[in-house]
């Protein structure tokens, strides 16, 4: 492999795109107003899913627990997340030892991705009412996934199957048994 081919390969691996599937609409307008975690007094909010992704909400129901994956576009005060930070004092507490960002929930990290476990409180077409969530208004949503509890994993003779939500587990087993 030539140096040029190696350089082109590295460039292809380093750059890729992420599309927003929607945006968070919240009363929280800046980072300073937001609690560090949803369980620390965060308000409920809305997720506005873009029209081209509304079919992806099929079978989601009020009461489901989901993970909102967001892009922390304003992780620093009136600024972007600091992507060159590799160590932080957890929770901004200088009395705590420096810790690698991969062992923390700091928004300052190489890729400022936020994970928010929430409950679906209401649904209206492409608008989800969820909560509690500590993300600020206009935060881009890059994906939504169901919560899968550890007791939802089960061993089966043909390998490992993973089920979530009782209403879906019967369909998964039925579908896999027909193969």
Pair (43, 80) in one structural domain: yes
Mean pLDDT of the chain: 78
Pair (139, 67) in one structural domain: yes
**CA–CA separation, 80 vs 74, rounded Å?**
5
- Residue 20's alpha-carbon distances to 11, 67, 143, in angstroms, are 23, 15, 8
Q: Report the domain count for the chain.
A: 2
Helices (H), the chain: 3-14, 166-177
Q: What is the pLDDT of residues 32-89, one digit of tens each?
A: 777 667 666 788 999 999 999 999 999 999 999 999 999 987 755 444 557 778 888 8
Q: Quick check: bond before 132 cis, omega within 30?
A: yes
pLDDT at residue 8, rounded to an integer: 56
CB-CB contact of 46 with 25 (8 Å): yes
Q: What is the pLDDT of residues 127-157, one digit of tens each?
A: 999 999 988 999 999 999 999 876 555 544 3
CB-CB contact of 70 with 135 (8 Å): yes
Pair (153, 133) in one structural domain: no
Do the domain assignments include residue 80? Answer: yes
pLDDT at residue 48, rounded to an integer: 98
Residue 10's pLDDT band, with cuts at 50, 70 and 90, is: low
Pair (112, 78) in one structural domain: yes
Q: What is the pLDDT of residues 79-120, one digit of tens each?
A: 455 777 888 888 888 999 999 988 887 877 888 899 999 999
**CA–CA separation, 69 vs 81, rounded Å?**
16
pTM (two decimals): 0.71
For residue 174, the enclosing domain spans: 149-179
């Amino acid at each position: 492999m030539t140096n040029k081919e190696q350089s082109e390969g590295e460039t292809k691996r380093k750059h890729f795109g992420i599309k927003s599937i929607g945006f968070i609409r919240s009363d929280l307008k800046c980072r300073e107003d937001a609690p560090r975690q949803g369980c620390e007094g965060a308000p409920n909010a809305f997720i506005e899913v873009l029209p081209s992704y509304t079919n992806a909400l099929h079978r989601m129901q009020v009461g489901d627990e989901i993970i909102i994956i967001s892009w922390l576009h304003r992780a620093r005060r009136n600024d972007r997340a600091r992507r060159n930070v590799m160590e932080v004092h957890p929770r901004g507490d200088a009395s705590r030892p420096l810790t690698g960002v991969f062992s923390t929930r700091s928004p300052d990290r190489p890729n400022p991705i936020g994970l928010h476990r929430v409950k679906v409180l209401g649904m209206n077409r492409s608008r989800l009412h969820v909560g509690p969530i500590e993300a600020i208004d206009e935060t881009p949503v890059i994906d939504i996934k169901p919560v899968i509890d550890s007791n939802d994993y089960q061993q089966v003779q043909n390998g490992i199957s993973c089920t979530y939500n009782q209403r879906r587990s019967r369909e998964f087993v039925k579908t896999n048994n027909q193969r």
